[in-house]
Amino acid sequence: MSNTNTVLASDGTSLKKSLAKSLRRQKIRALLLIAPLLFFVLLTFIAPIGDMLFRSVENNIVSDTLPRTVKVLSKWDSMSGQAPDEEVFEAFARDLKIAVKSKLHTKLGSRLNYEKTGISSLVRQTGRKVKKLDLDATPSFKDAFEKMNKKWMDPSVWQTIQQFSSKYTDGYFLAAADLTRTSEGIQKVDEDKKIYFKLFVRTLYMSLGITFMCILLGYPIAFLLATLPMRSSNVLMILVLLPFWTSLLVRTSAWKVLLQNQGVINDFLVWLGVIADGNRLELINNVTGTVIAMTHILLPFMILPLFSVMKTIPPTYMRAAKSMGANDFMAFRRVYFPQSIPGIGAGSILVFILAIGYYITPEIVGGTKGVFISNRIAYHISSSLNWGLGAALGAILLVVVLALYWLYDKFVGIDNVKLG
């Protein structure tokens, strides 16, 4: 049946096949052309993100360093309130001895230290002593460990080891959500240790604030750019693009000079007599500083999409509205503004997503009250070296951005985003 329906090419093969054949060459050519870029993107974008996502749940260190201990410890009842029995200590002694030889025990210590402070020094100290321990001549390993350090009798140390003995862990994500796993299950951490949730919320509302400020400041500029005659709009365009040609660090540092307590703005206001000398405005190292500097830095990303959308709105629309009796404001509100919304959408997405992951500017002008979650991620990646937690925070940030993007698509429609 289907054979009779297929259209045949002149040489008797099916037309679909010969079409595919004739297009194959073009497709291969196209693929080859983009191959370098594809490879580059895979290597420098997809792979690192995948690696980061993996690191946020990866937990090989305990099971790799203490294979025997993990095996026997699984039989131990963590709720017993007692340290595990001799068998576990013996396995632990053998594992630790090997680990010390290859110096892996310090890594194990710092990994477990994320979950329970003090384990790092405990493992290091014990490691030195285990070196001298004769495995075959030890009557009781439990006693030997008790002698090395009393903390080994504390069941919570063993609970931690047992909890993180699996190859994968949700510990980083729990920590990133200000939660911790205790013997009574998952619980919230103490109020004074809750930092990440607060940081996430702050990052979100500050990014929203920055986006809003960018719309407020960028819209009139984009409107001018789109409506002024060519010559003046070109000059204006250069002014808009000028920040792009200046180093980000220079611009941010300039804000530091302007905004600080003894800075240009405060000095000027004191000189004018607007504020008293002893009552200088706190413009930097807080939320205000971050919002001001970030708005300035991200403003072109709002102006350019807005401009390119506004450029496509013919001036006759406004004229038509006026000829029908609408005054300037009405014509703008009912005719011009609705058509510029795709530009606002594009600019907002761009600015918001850039803002939510911004790092350098909040680091310089944000102080402690104006930093973003990204600064915390950077801290875990480069200072505390807790890459797992950094990765978990990053993964949450990624999910939040994707969720917001999805919400945006649902309510505004991604089709309404135009870059020109």
Footprint on this chain of another protein (rule: CB under 8 A)? 314, 316-317, 319-328, 330-331, 334-335, 338-339
Residue with smaller CB distance to another protein, 321 or 364: 321
Residue with smaller CB distance to another protein, 265 or 341: 341
- What the block records as the tokens of 146 is 């008790």
Residue with smaller CB distance to another protein, 193 or 334: 334
User: What count of other Cβ atoms lies within 10 Å of the Cβ of residue 353?
Assistant: 16
> CB of residue 413 vs another protein: minimum separation in angstroms?
13
Residue with smaller CB distance to another protein, 327 or 384: 327
Please, how many CA atoms are within 13 Å of residue 161, restricted to the half-sphere of its CB? Answer: 31
Residue with smaller CB distance to another protein, 97 or 322: 322
> CB of residue 200 vs another protein: minimum separation in angstroms?
36
The answer to whether the CB of 59 falls within 8 A of the CB of 168 is yes
What span, in angstroms and rounded, lies between the C-alpha atoms of 189 and 180? 6
β-bridge partners, 182: 185
What span, in angstroms and rounded, lies between the C-alpha atoms of 322 and 338? 16
- Alpha helices, DSSP H only, in 42-151? 47-55, 60-65, 67-73, 86-101, 105-115, 119-132, 141-148
Residue with smaller CB distance to another protein, 106 or 339: 339
> CB of residue 417 vs another protein: minimum separation in angstroms?
15
Residue with smaller CB distance to another protein, 229 or 273: 229
> CB of residue 314 vs another protein: minimum separation in angstroms?
7
The answer to whether the CB of 122 falls within 8 A of the CB of 96 is no
Phi (first) and psi of residue 100, to 5 degrees: -65, -40
> CB of residue 240 vs another protein: minimum separation in angstroms?
27
What span, in angstroms and rounded, lies between the C-alpha atoms of 375 and 359? 6
Residue with smaller CB distance to another protein, 332 or 379: 332
Residue with smaller CB distance to another protein, 17 or 333: 333
Please, how many CA atoms are within 13 Å of residue 384, restricted to the half-sphere of its CB? Answer: 15
Phi (first) and psi of residue 133, to 5 degrees: -75, 130
What span, in angstroms and rounded, lies between the C-alpha atoms of 15 and 8? 5
What span, in angstroms and rounded, lies between the C-alpha atoms of 415 and 411? 11
> CB of residue 219 vs another protein: minimum separation in angstroms?
17
172, exposed or middle or buried, with CB in 10 Å at 0-12, 13-18, 19+? buried
> CB of residue 230 vs another protein: minimum separation in angstroms?
14
Please give the DSSP secondary-structure letter assigned to residue 187: E
> 273 vs 260, 283, 290, CA distance in Å?
18, 17, 26
